[in-house]
Chains A and B, each alone.
Chain A
Amino acid sequence: MGSFYVPGDSWLHQLPTGLKLSLLMLAGAGLMWVHDWRILLVILIVVLLLIQQSGVRVLQWWQHIRTLSWLLLALIIFTALTQSPMTAIEVGLRMLALLLAALLVSLTTSIAKMMEVLIWLLQPLQTRGWVNSERVALVFGLTLRLIPELSVQWHEIREAQAARGLKANPLTMGVPMLLRTLKRAQEIADALDARQ
Chain B
Amino acid sequence: MLIEFKNIFVERDGRQTLTDLNLSLSERRIGIIGPNGSGKSTFIRLINGLLLPKEGQICVDGLDTRVDVEKIRRKVGFVFQNPDNQIVFPVVIEDIEFGLKRRVPEPTQRRLRALEALTQLGALHLQERLIHTLSGGERQLVALAGVLATQPEILVFDEPTTQLDLRLRNRFELHLTSLTQAAVIVSHDLVLMGTMDRVLVLNGGRLAFDGAPDKAIDWYRRHCS
Does a CB–CB distance below 8 Å link A and B in the complex?
Answer: yes
Expressed in whole angstroms, the Cα–Cα distance for A69 and B59 within the complex equals 65
The A contact surface, by secondary structure, is: helix
The answer to the question of A68 belonging to the interface, with a C-beta cut-off of 8 Å to chain B, is no
**Is there contact, CB below 8 Å, between A196 and B80?**
no
Q: Judge whether B86 and A196 touch: CB under 8 Å.
A: no
Bound Cα distance A113, B70 (Å): 34
Say yes or no: is B94 at the interface (Cβ < 8 Å to chain A): yes
CB-nearest residue of chain B relative to A191? B86
The answer to the question of B102 belonging to the interface, with a C-beta cut-off of 8 Å to chain A, is: yes
Which of B85, B89, B146, B147 counts the most A-chain CB atoms under 10 A from its CB? B85
Shortest Cβ gap from B222 to chain A (Å): 33
Cα-based distance from A150 to B70 in the complex (angstroms): 31
Contact partner, B85, options A141, A148, A188, Cβ 8 Å: A188
Contact residues on B (Cβ < 8 Å of other chain), bracket: 20 to 34
Q: A133 to chain B: closest CB distance in Å?
A: 11
- A143-164 Cβ-contact flags toward B at 8 Å (1 or 0): 0110011000000000000000
**A-B residue pairs in contact (CB < 8 Å), sample of 25:** A134-B101, A138-B88, A141-B95, A141-B98, A142-B88, A144-B90, A145-B89, A145-B132, A148-B132, A149-B132, A187-B80, A188-B88, A190-B80, A191-B78, A191-B85, A191-B88, A193-B73, A194-B50, A194-B78, A195-B78, A195-B146, A195-B147, A196-B73, A196-B74, A196-B102
B residues near A, CB below 8 A? Answer: 45, 48, 50, 70, 73-74, 76, 78, 80, 82, 84-90, 94-95, 98-99, 101-102, 131-132, 146-147, 150
